[in-house]
Amino acid sequence: MDQFLNKWGEAAYSSLGFFWMAMWAFILGYFISSIIQVFISESRMQKLMGDKNTKSVLLGTFFGFISSSCSFSALATSKSLFQKGASFISTIAFLLSSTNLVIELGIVISIFLGWQFVVGEYVGGIFLILFSWLLIFIIKPNKLIKKARNKLDSSKSGNHQNQDSFYQNIRSKENWLKVGSKYVMEWQMVWKDVTLGFTIAGIVAVFVPDSFFESLFINTANNHEFGFFTLVEHVVIGPIVAFLTFIGSMGNIPLAALLFGKGVSFAGVMAFIFSDLVVFPVLRINAKYYGWKMSLFILLLLFLSLIITSLTLHYGFDALGMLPENVERDIVSKDHFSVDYTLFFNIGFFLLSGVLVYLSFAEKRRDTNHHHHEMAPKSSLFETVMKWIAFICYLWLIIGLILKLSS
């Protein structure tokens, strides 16, 4: 019993330590995302993405890059773009870019996994789009696309476009109030996923033995000596693990670091990171938008693309001598709360977060008619379950921290 309580304390401490390492990165990333969302009009994006040509795909990629990394928000925005005339491939490009090429995700990956994975994330995000484009060209799902368009509501949004110059926008007090509102919305969209993700990461780090990962991901003890079929197994199992955890793209990075530390290949870890759009909630939401046939097609399309991308990255990095060292990372016993740059960054960005929250409250008092991102039709039951799971996680962390401090 004492051993379990000690591990409970270590797991809670590790979870909080992981989040402490990444807190400033979350705040910075969502601050940048909020600024971009306010000062660049979504309606202007939609006019430019109606063709199937290279320009449309490039614009979809760019607009995804400057958009939110929350998969639920990305699903809703991409549906809106598709509904208002964007081509299917440019919509997929936006969806993949908005969940894989965003700034805040790269910052968090750099903290937990290193620069090779950051490069892999951004280069891989581009590969995902290119391979999806190629597969769509080969398969030509024209009937599915037509049926999906017919299923969507044809009503057009009547949002007013802001015609002011960027300089005028940046000086507007009203726009900065909206930045604060967007910032709070970003956290409202991801707090449950982040809570669950970091809690699971701490539990896995302390309670799950290496033998589990050695049985789940074959041949993990051989470091760089991964054969082709071993890599294939890793890139298939990675998305399955992501599917079972239901953790979003931001919350699964600490767990990805643990997988890599346990001997999972670079390809397997990248496949795990890329899997935030092939989990069940995303499948269900796409089915509500487009129908089950199109939803399953998108799932298959993204699954095949991430497998090809992850293998391409692994062999490409290997050929260039850039594969990261697959060594055990001592992120459990590390003193996360020491006086270093993380402490000062967290203090500074926490103060910034407080200012943004204040601006959000000021925006609510000023105007109750906010222009928010459309949110995906998430199940109220699922959201309620996730909320209670998050509360249970907080209880787990509080009790664990007490056990850790009292030991």
237 assigned to some structural domain: yes
Q: Is residue 159 part of a domain?
A: no
Q: What pLDDT score was predicted for residue 158?
A: 47
pLDDT of residue 166: 56
Quote the CA–CA distance of 331 and 202 in Å, as a whole number: 10
Task: Give a yes or no: residue 155 inside a domain.
Answer: no
Per the structure, the count of domains in the chain is: 1
Residue 351 predicted with pLDDT over 90: yes
Encode 308-340: b = buried (16+ Cβ within 10 Å), e = exposed: bbbbbbbeebeeeeebbebeebebbeeebeeee
Residue 60 lies in a domain: yes
Is residue 305 within 8 A of residue 278, CB to CB? The reply is: no
Residue 164 lies in a domain: no
Residue 289: inside a domain, yes or no? Answer: yes
Instruction: Write out the two tokens for 214.
Output: 């050695």
Q: Which helix (H) or strand (E) holds 207?
A: helix 173-207
Buried b (16+ CB within 10 A) or exposed e, 64-89: bbbbbbbbbbbbbbbbbbbbbebbbb
**Structural domain of 249:** 2-150+169-406
For every residue of 151-165, which 3-state class applies, written as one string?
A: HCCCCCCCCCCCCCC
Residues of the chain by 3-state class (helix, strand, coil), percent to 5? 75, 0, 25
Give the pLDDT of residue 182.
84
Summarised one tens digit per residue, pLDDT across range 93-140 is 988 998 888 777 888 888 888 899 999 999 999 999 999 999 999 999
User: What pLDDT is stored for residue 156 in this prediction?
Assistant: 45
The alpha carbon dihedral of 400, 402, 403, 407 has a sign of: positive
Question: In this structure, are residues 94 and 240 in contact, taking their beta carbons and an 8 Å threshold?
Answer: no
Range from 72-76, 152-156, 359-363 carrying the lowest mean pLDDT = 152-156
Q: What is the pLDDT of residue 70?
A: 62
- Asked if the model's pLDDT at residue 157 lies above 70, the reply is no
Report the first-to-last Cα separation within the chain, whole angstroms. 14
How buried is residue 201: exposed, middle or buried, by Cβ count under 10 Å (0-12/13-18/19+)? buried
374 within domain boundaries: yes
pLDDT digits (tens, 9 = 90+) for 185-241: 878 877 887 788 788 878 877 887 767 777 777 776 655 578 889 899 999 998 887
Residue 160 within a domain: no
